[in-house]
Structure 1
Amino acid sequence: MDTYIDLKDVRLTGLVSQGLIALVAAESVWGTVNDWQGGSSSWSFLAIVLVVPAAVAFVIWFRAATHNAEAIALHGVRLMPQVWKASDPSQRDVPFDQRVASPLIKPWQYTFLAMVMCDILESLLLDTRAYVVFSTLSTLCALAAAGLACYLIWRVSWMQQRFAVPQRKRR
C-alpha cells in the first residue's frame, strides 16, 4: 500500500529563503571587499537591511516545515533538530526519541550567532582598524552560515517532499 501524507509544499518558500540568504551573504562579501578598499560602511548596513526579508522568508518556511514535521511524526516539533528527525524518511521506523538529527545543525546555529556577534562588534568599532577585522570575520561567518542554512533548508524540503508524494514499494 502506498503511503501519502497531505503536506504543505515547502519547496517555493525554501527556494525564496535560500535565495535571500545567498543574497545577504553575497552582499556581505561585497561590503567587506569595499571595506578593505577604504570604502563606505553603508554596504554593511545594506546587509543588515537584507537580513529582515531573509529572516521573514525563513520563518515562513520553518512554520510550514514544522507543520509538516508534526504531521509526519505525530509528535510535538518545535526546533530544527526535531524537524530534521521527523522529516528524515530513512529513520521512519526508528522511535522518534532515538532518531538522529543532522550534525550540521549546531555548526549552522553557532556560525550564525558568531556572525551576529561580529556584526555587533563591527558596528561598535566604526572608524577603527578593528572594524575591518570584524567585518571580515562577519563575512566569513555569514558565508558559512548561509551555506549551511541553504543546505539544511534544501534537505528538509526534499525529505518532506518524499513523504508528500506517493512512493511505490519496490519488490
Structure 2
Amino acid sequence: MLDTYIDLKDVRVTGYVSMGLIALVAAESIWGTINDWQGGSSSWSFLAIMLVVPAGVASIVWFRGVTHNAEAIALHGVRTVSQVWKASDPAQREVPFAQRVASPLIKPWQWAFLAMVLCDVFESLLLDTPFYVVFSTLSTLCAIGAGGLACFLVFRISIMQRRFAVPQRKRG
C-alpha cells in the first residue's frame, strides 16, 4: 500500500490571527458598551468598527486558504463555510459530498453576525438618542455570540484540515 499526501496550505497562522482579531473586536465592543453605560464617548464604538476591517481581511485570507484546501480534499467546488466544513470533516470522508452534514453552529454564527451588523447600523443612526445605549448593548451581545462561534468554527475547520495534511494510508 502506498501513502498519499494532500498538499494543503497551512491555515493555522491566518486562523489564529483571525481568532485574535475577532476576540479583540468583541472585547473592544464590551469596553465601548460599558463606557456608553457610563455616559462616555462613542469613540469606543468607532474603534470597534475600525478593528473589524483587519479582522475581516484576516478572515478572508484564512477563508481563501481553507477553501483551497477543501477543494483539494473533496475534489468538489467549495464556496461557502458549510461546504468547507463538509469537505474538511474527516469523520465524513467516506460519505458522498451531497450527503455530508455541516456544523449546526454555522447558521447561528451567521445570524448573530447579521444581527450585530444591524444593531451597529441602528446604533450609528441613533447616536444622540436614548436608544443608542440599547443598540450598543445589543450589538455587544451579538458580537460576543458571533465572535465566539466564529472563533470556534475557524479553529475547528483549521484542525480538521490539518488531519488531511499528513500522510495517510490508501485503503486497498
Aligned residues between the structures: 169
1:95 to partner: Cα distance = 0.1
Partner of 1:27: 28
Partner of 1:158: 159
Partners of 1:127 and 1:78 lie apart in 2 by: 41
Partner of 1:90: 91
The aligned amino acid for 1:153 is V
Establish whether residue 71 from structure 1 lines up as the match of residue 76 from structure 2. Answer: no
Partners of 2:143 and 2:155 lie apart in 1 by: 18
1:167 to partner: Cα distance = 4.3
Q: Kindly report which structure 2 residues correspond to 1:20-169, keeping only aligned pairs within 5 A, or say none.
A: 20-167=21-168
1:91 to partner: Cα distance = 0.2
Partners of 1:95 and 1:33 lie apart in 2 by: 49
Gaps of 5+ in 2: none
TM-score (norm 1): 0.97
Sequence identity (%): 79
RMSD (Å), alpha carbons: 1.1
Partners of 2:62 and 2:125 lie apart in 1 by: 32
1:127 to partner: Cα distance = 1.4
Task: Give secondary structure in 2 for the equivalent of 1:5.
Answer: coil
TM-score (norm 2): 0.96
The aligned amino acid for 1:142 is A
The aligned amino acid for 2:94 is D
Residues 3-32 of structure 1: CA deviation (Å, up to 9, x unaligned): 321100000000000000000000000000
Partners of 1:165 and 1:133 lie apart in 2 by: 49
The aligned amino acid for 2:14 is T
Partners of 1:100 and 1:72 lie apart in 2 by: 16
CA gap 1:168/1:74 in 2 versus in 1, 3 angstroms:
closer
Partners of 1:134 and 1:89 lie apart in 2 by: 41
The aligned amino acid for 1:88 is D
